Structure 1
Amino acid sequence: MNRSTNYCEFKLRVPIGDISDDTFGDIDVIRSLFATLYVTPPEASLDRLYEQFYDYTAAHPNGRKGRGDVLIFASDADDECFMAIDMFDDVTDQMNTVGIELRVPRDCADKVRGLLQSIRSSAEVSSALLEGDLGIKESLAAENFPRHVQGHGGVTIQHAQFFRRGCLVYATSSS
């Protein structure tokens, strides 16, 4: 059996405020996703990481718009499994949405699907929940960063930060 068929990929886009905030941290469903995938979460909440990145970019003419790294959290137990948060903020995005992209073992796909559907149903706005062999693993490989991202404001360079066991282990250069 092909190793890639043992995994399922998911993709969803929701506002950062629907999955994490500065007061209470990451919502229980996000914490459950980290736990299900055996991913040690970062010390800071996703909202804090989102805001820290954009505090840095505030000096740029358009602030956060047209910018945003991808944060990739590798599983502590399975090198093929991860959760990624794409913080790219297009100039037309008034809801501060982030992409949630996951690669999970098939044996926990039903649980992950349910958790993502819970996030989607409670979000103020959301994209469709995509599932299947979406090419996420290949798209988020370290050698693909920095990469060019086309947005409504033109083309921008996107960087990646790779985490394992809650710690940053590799990052592409900052712009």
Structure 2
Amino acid sequence: MDAQITLRIDGDERSLTVDTRTTLLDAMRDRLGVNSPKKGCDHGQCGACTVLLDGRRALTCLALAVAYDGAEITTAHGLADDEILHPIQQAFIDYDGFQCGYCTPGQICSAVGMLDELRAGHPSHVTASLTSLAQLTDEEIRERMSGNLCRCGAYANIVAAIREGVVA
């Protein structure tokens, strides 16, 4: 069965007809040519497909496209303001937070979403107190980013980039 949906991706409204079993990731990559989110494991375990979906980080390989008709989707590409990179994007460059780069768009979207969660007061497993805002320690960053895997092992630089991106 097919359905007509509209997605707003990086500020552009895009309409398409999809099979109701189509994932959001496949609709974006295969049907709309949006290739910032990557297909890694296709099981929600690696985080390469992470985007900001209505402002919250989400794994697009686990989301059915029809469930997000009308949604606002921001990819790593959409975080930049024309030629000016988002502070997290710039920090990833400055701190060499990538090697092969395959996981980088998901890492960047997850970092931006994670920082929004932190500012909103959402605790993580390692947050010391549930009654006060978490401090952005390396342990806190690692815990909150644990759903995003880097096969190259650039974790030390990713943590440093996130820490620096908050300051910028």
Specify which structure has the higher proportion of helix: 2
TM-score normalised by length of structure 1: 0.28
Higher RCO by CA contacts (8 Å cutoff, separation 6 or greater): 1
Report the structure number with the largest CA radius of gyration. 2
TM-score normalised by length of structure 2: 0.29
